[in-house]
Structures are given as C-alpha cells and as structure tokens.
C-alpha cells in the first residue's frame, strides 16, 4: 500500500493547478468553479478540454452560456453521441395538437413538425459527457442554472423525450470570467464544492502547482509541480502535463481518502473555523451545512495527495480557502450586527470598505488557534 501511495504521489507532483482541482473533485466526487481573467479565458477552456481528454481519458463538452441560452440548448449541449443502449430511457411520446386552420398535410405544418422533432431525436441516442465545461454559466437564466443543479443532485437529465443518466465519474466545471462578476444561483453555487482562480502570473513559470502551494505556512505538506508541457493553439500556449491519471488511480485515491484519520484536536480546529467564519462580522447569512460537508470531504481528499493518511491543520486551512472563497457574501453596513447595539453605520462602512472574501478567510485562519 505504501508503494501504491508513493506511486500516486509521484504522479500528482507532475500535475498543474487545474489538473489538481479536477483530481480533487474526482476523489471527493464533487464539482468545482474555475475562474480566469478575460484575456486567458479561451486558453483555460482549451486547457480544461485537454485535461479531460489527455490526463483523465474522459469525454467532455463545452457549453457556451449566455442570457439567450435556453433549457433545451443546455440539455442538448451536454450530450454526446453514445453507443450504449442504456444511455437514455425513452419517454412515451405525447400527442401533439395543431391549430384548426393548419392542414395536416400542408407543407408548412410538416416543416414545423419536422423542425420541432429534430432536437428531441438528437437527444434520444445521446449520453451525458463525463466532463461538462459550462462557460459563463453565471450569465445564463435561473432556469438553466436550476437544470444544472438538478443534474448534479439527481445525476439525471430530463429532456422532452428521454431521461439520460449521468456517468459514474461526472465532473461539472463552471468556467467563469472575472470580467463578469454576476453570482450563480444560490443553491447551485453552494452545490459546487470548490473554487479555484487560475492566474498565469502566480509566481511560477506556467501557473502550475498553485492549487497545493497556496498553503505556504506549512512547507512539509506542499506538493511542488515542475513545469508542464506547453501545447500551442494559434498564438496561445496551453500547459498540460504528460501524466495520465487512470480510472484505477482515482479509485485507489478514493479508497485512501476513505481511510484518512481525523484526530479530535484537528476536528475541533475545523469546527472552530466553521463557527468563526459563520460569526464573522463581515459575513452575511453565515455558511451552509453543505459547505461544512464539502470541507470534510476536501480535507480527506487532500491527505492522500500528500502521501499521508491523516489530516493536518495546514490541510484544513488550505481546504477552507477553496471551500469558502465562492460562498461568502460580504454584508452591507446597514445589516452588520454591531449596528443593532449602537455602532455607527458610517464607522461600520469605513471598516468594511475594500474588504474582500479572501481577507475574511485569512482573518478567520489567523484568529482560530492552531492545535500543536
């Protein structure tokens, strides 16, 4: 087992930051948000596709979302042609009703019926891709985002003519641009376990390894990644590793994660972070129980990537940064709790001016006492 763990750790050391984020999601069986600057947005999209295909050997689709995206557009966009007979379950066809003035045999009526059937016929023999990259999902309507939430919760996609089952290893990536700060629908946002901001100028040559290097306070638990292999697309370079993570590797990491030990002191430390975050004066509406469940899952997934079978405080701090960065909402001065006991709204506004979610998380981590 130690040899297996060492082999997996050596593979992980070759991965880049986005690859690590995807691997963590596969281990924890959750989904994620990837944020990128507008000028690198298309580059990151291509990198995600290469990671899905070359690193994990999985099928993927890219869905371009906008305000005009409909539920049918989204449903059709996440399907690929599949050979499996049980990829979808047909739904009995409902009778169609026509206007009284339309002739059943008229060419116009036949054309309308033909065009109405085409999307459904396309869906019947399709299956959901293993990796779904939803670009600018925050710009889509609430109906589209709710359909995405139903897919993640129920592992099924309902269309007009079929019910499509999600693959065993489904990874849903919401690829968001920093140029569009609109938030996702509350429940969908909460259902996405982690968020990662991809920055090519993060202190390394190619932006790789940042996912696990964020925890700079503990060098003993840091995995450092060497530069990855660049692939040229037009005028841009996309960085991917040459390491393949097989399904057996993911299964082994899931087994190792299930055996991770969490001591009482570290469990108390994790609980204190949750409580201090919920009660922070700059946080509106606290944190959800789903976020706490994701926090436990992520710390268990991080341990085998570092070659250990126990959770350290540094792993908890790293997980907290990834779990809460897209969830916390900064309160307004009028709703800050101390104003109920006589604090000046102007003074509170000055205190909250310029504060960011990252600063709130760091404040909590500095406040909570780390177990020895």
Model confidence at 82, in pLDDT bands (50, 70, 90)?
A: low
Q: How far apart are CA 251 and CA 264, in angstroms?
A: 27
Write down the residue that tokens 């309507």 correspond to: 141
Lowest mean pLDDT among 221-225, 277-281, 298-302, 343-347: 221-225
Statement: residue 194 has pLDDT above 90: yes
Sequence-ordered alpha helix ranges (H) in the chain:
2-12, 17-28, 41-50, 71-77, 107-124, 142-154, 186-191, 210-213, 247-258, 264-279, 289-305, 313-324, 345-352, 357-367
Statement: residue 333 has pLDDT above 50: yes
Domains and CATH numbers, the chain: 2-92+111-240 (3.40.50.300), 259-367 (1.10.8.80)
**Closest of 273, 277, 276, 280 to residue 296, by C-alpha:** 273
3-state secondary structure of 302: helix
Chain centre distance of CA 71: 20
Q: How far apart are CA 133 and CA 48, in angstroms?
A: 8
CB burial of residue 198 (10 Å; 0-12, 13-18, 19+):
buried
pLDDT the model gives residue 283 = 94
Model confidence at 241, in pLDDT bands (50, 70, 90)?
A: low
- The answer to whether the beta carbons of residues 302 and 318 sit under 8 Å apart is yes
Upper half-sphere CA count for residue 268 (Cβ side, 13 Å): 7
pLDDT the model gives residue 86 = 40
Model confidence at 113, in pLDDT bands (50, 70, 90)?
A: very low
Strand partners, 79: 128
Query: Over the Cα atoms of the chain, what is R_g?
Result: 23
Upper half-sphere CA count for residue 331 (Cβ side, 13 Å): 23
pLDDT the model gives residue 81 = 79
Vertex 228: Cα angle to 23 and 194 (nearest 5):
30
Q: How far apart are CA 330 and CA 117, in angstroms?
A: 47
């Amino acid at each position: 087992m130690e040899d297996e763990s060492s082999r997996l750790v050596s593979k992980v050391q070759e991965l880049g930051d986005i690859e690590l984020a995807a691997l963590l999601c596969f281990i924890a069986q959750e989904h994620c948000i990837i944020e990128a600057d507008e000028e690198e947005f298309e580059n990151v999209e291509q990198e995600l596709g290469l990671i899905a295909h070359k690193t994990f050997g999985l099928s993927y689709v890219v869905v371009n979302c906008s305000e005009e995206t409909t539920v049918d557009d989204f449903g059709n966009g996440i399907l690929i042609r599949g050979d499996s007979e049980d990829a979808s379950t047909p739904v009995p066809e409902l009778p169609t009703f026509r206007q009284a003035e339309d002739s059943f045999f008229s060419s116009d009526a036949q054309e309308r019926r033909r065009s109405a059937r085409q999307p459904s016929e396309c869906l019947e023999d399709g299956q959901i891709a293993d990796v779904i990259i939803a670009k600018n999902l925050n710009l889509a309507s609430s109906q589209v985002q709710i359909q995405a939430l139903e897919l993640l919760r129920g592992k099924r996609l309902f269309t007009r003519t079929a019910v499509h089952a999600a693959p065993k290893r489904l990874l849903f990536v919401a690829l968001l641009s920093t140029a569009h700060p609109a938030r996702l629908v509350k429940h969908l946002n909460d259902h996405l376990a982690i968020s990662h901001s991809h920055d090519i100028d993060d202190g390394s040559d190619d932006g790789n390894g940042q996912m696990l290097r964020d925890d700079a306070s503990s060098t003993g638990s840091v995995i450092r990644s060497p530069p990855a292999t660049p692939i040229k697309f037009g005028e841009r370079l996309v960085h991917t590793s040459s390491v393949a993570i097989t399904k057996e590797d993911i299964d082994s990491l899931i087994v190792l994660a299930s055996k991770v030990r969490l001591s009482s002191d570290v469990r108390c430390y994790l609980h204190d972070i949750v409580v201090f975050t919920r009660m922070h004066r700059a946080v509106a509406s606290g944190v959800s129980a789903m976020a706490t469940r994701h926090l436990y899952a992520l710390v268990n997934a991080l341990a085998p990537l570092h070659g250990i079978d126990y959770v350290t405080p540094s792993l908890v701090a790293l997980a907290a940064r990834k779990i809460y960065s897209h969830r916390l909402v900064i309160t307004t001065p009028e709703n800050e709790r101390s104003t109920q006991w006589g604090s000046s709204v102007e003074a509170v506004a000055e205190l909250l001016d310029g504060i960011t979610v990252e600063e709130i998380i760091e404040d909590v981590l500095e406040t909570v006492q780390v177990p020895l």
